[in-house]
């Protein structure tokens, strides 16, 4: 089942989300979504693990048709207060999505996969209900921020102590296991530790971390591809021995006439 946010855990998460680093990540998410998903106004997006609706507000601003799901009824109530009728919201589990196949153009899971007991099944479900793309956003385990949060978890942090961190290779492996060999693209945010903000010995260009696997927040997008494979079924009846085909008979008749022979009105030699 994973970690379901109650009021206490939700408060801790919101405190982190509204921290300077959390706000920096939030500002970067829209850029990641636009660059990796290229969403079009009117497309249907499902936010799995939507929480209080922080990212749904971003998607709504992009003109998308938004829906959200979360295992916590407390978080869904918060999201409903903020979004009202602009969004369809449901309480449910990421591992068993209450939606039809290909019901959405895009499915996103932002800071959701880290808190699930069965991330592989959740990704399979995301791939099932997504028609175009699945987007995963996580704290990068190879970043400075990911290291700090893991240390906090080791020392009893109630939120990050139950968090599983991922890097780009681990996410690629999970996506391939869940949805097959689909085209994948990824990028990282360029957020630095606060103590390094003024340390730019090589100029601003040295901090362009989009394609670095060590960026603070990692986004990865998988494009859905569909394949049809036919099963070979055994034939249960015997085929009769084929006779002369009409095409063969006509051909033979033309040859016979060309040689001066005789044939009937169908061209069959007599």
CA distances to 6, 56, 68, 76, 268 from 80, in Å: 16, 11, 10, 6, 81
Q: What is the mean pLDDT of residues 75-104?
A: 94
Q: For residue 266, is it within any domain?
A: no
Whether 21 maps to a domain, the answer reads: yes
Residues near 231 by beta carbon (within 8 Å), at least 6 away in sequence:
none
DSSP string, the chain: ------HHHHHHHHHHHTSHHHHHHHHHHHHHHHHHH---TT-EEEEET-TTSHHHHHHHHTT-EEEEEES-HHHHHHHHHHHGGGSEEEE-BTTB-SS-TT-EEEEEEES-GGG-S-HHHHHHHHHHHEEEEEEEEEEBTTSHHHHHHHHHHHTT-TTGGG---B-HHHHHHHHHHHH-S--EEEEE-----GGGTT--TT-GGGG--TT-TT-SEEEEEEE---------PPP-SPPPPP---HHHHHHHHHHHHHTT--B-TTS-B-
Percentage of residues of the chain with pLDDT beyond 70: 72
pLDDT tens across 157-215, in order? 767 777 889 999 999 999 999 999 999 999 988 655 444 444 444 334 333 446 678 88
| pLDDT at residue 17 greater than cutoff 90 | no
Region 9-28: what's the mean pLDDT?
A: 74
Q: What is the pTM of this model?
A: 0.74
Within a domain: 259: no
Split at pLDDT 50, 70, 90, the class of 149 is: confident
Determine how β-strand 130-139 pairs with β-strand 217-223. antiparallel
Q: What is the mean pLDDT of residues 132-144?
A: 91
235 in a domain, yes or no?
Answer: no
Distance of alpha carbon 29 from alpha carbon 176, whole angstroms: 23
How many domains are there within the chain?
1
| Residue 48 CA, distance from chain mean position | 10
A 10 A CB-CB count for 69 gives 24
Assess if residue 246 is contained within a domain: no
Query: 258 in a domain, yes or no?
Result: no
Within a domain: 111: yes
Residue 230 lies in a domain: no
Which is more confident, 182 or 230?
Answer: 182
pLDDT of 252 strictly over 60:
no
- CA–CA separation, 253 vs 224, rounded Å? 55
- The average confidence (pLDDT) of the chain is 80
Angle at 260 between CA 259 and CA 266, to 5 degrees: 95
Neighbours of 40 (CB within 10 A): 12
Q: What is the CATH number of the domain that holds 113?
A: 3.40.50.150
Domain of residue 53: give its range. Answer: 7-223
Rg over CA atoms, the chain: 29
């Amino acid at each position: 089942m994973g970690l379901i946010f109650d009021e206490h855990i939700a408060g801790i998460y919101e405190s982190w989300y509204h921290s300077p680093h959390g706000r920096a990540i939030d500002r970067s998410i829209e850029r990641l979504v636009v660059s990796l998903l290229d969403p079009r106004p009117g497309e249907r997006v499902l936010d799995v693990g939507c929480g209080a609706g922080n990212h749904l507000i971003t998607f709504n601003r992009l003109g998308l048709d938004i829906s959200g799901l979360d295992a916590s009824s407390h978080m869904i109530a918060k999201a409903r207060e903020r979004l009202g009728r602009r969004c369809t919201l449901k309480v449910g589990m990421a591992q068993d999505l209450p939606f039809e196949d290909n019901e959405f153009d895009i499915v996103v899971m932002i800071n959701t996969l880290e808190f699930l007991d069965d991330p592989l099944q959740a990704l399979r479900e995301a791939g099932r209900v997504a028609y175009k793309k699945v987007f995963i956003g996580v704290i990068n385990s190879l970043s400075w921020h990911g290291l700090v949060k893991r240390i906090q978890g080791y020392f009893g942090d109630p939120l990050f102590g139950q968090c599983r961190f991922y890097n780009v290779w681990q996410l690629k492996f999970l996506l391939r296991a869940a949805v097959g060999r689909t085209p994948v693209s990824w990028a990282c945010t360029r957020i630095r530790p606060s103590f390094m903000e003024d340390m730019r010995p090589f100029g601003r260009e040295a901090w362009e971390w989009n394609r670095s696997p060590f960026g603070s927040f990692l986004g990865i997008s998988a494009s859905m591809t569909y394949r049809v494979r036919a099963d070979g079924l055994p034939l249960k009846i015997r085929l009769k021995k084929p006779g002369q085909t009409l095409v063969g008979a006509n051909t033979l008749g033309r040859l016979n006439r060309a040689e001066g022979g005789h044939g009937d009105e169908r061209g069959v030699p007599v």
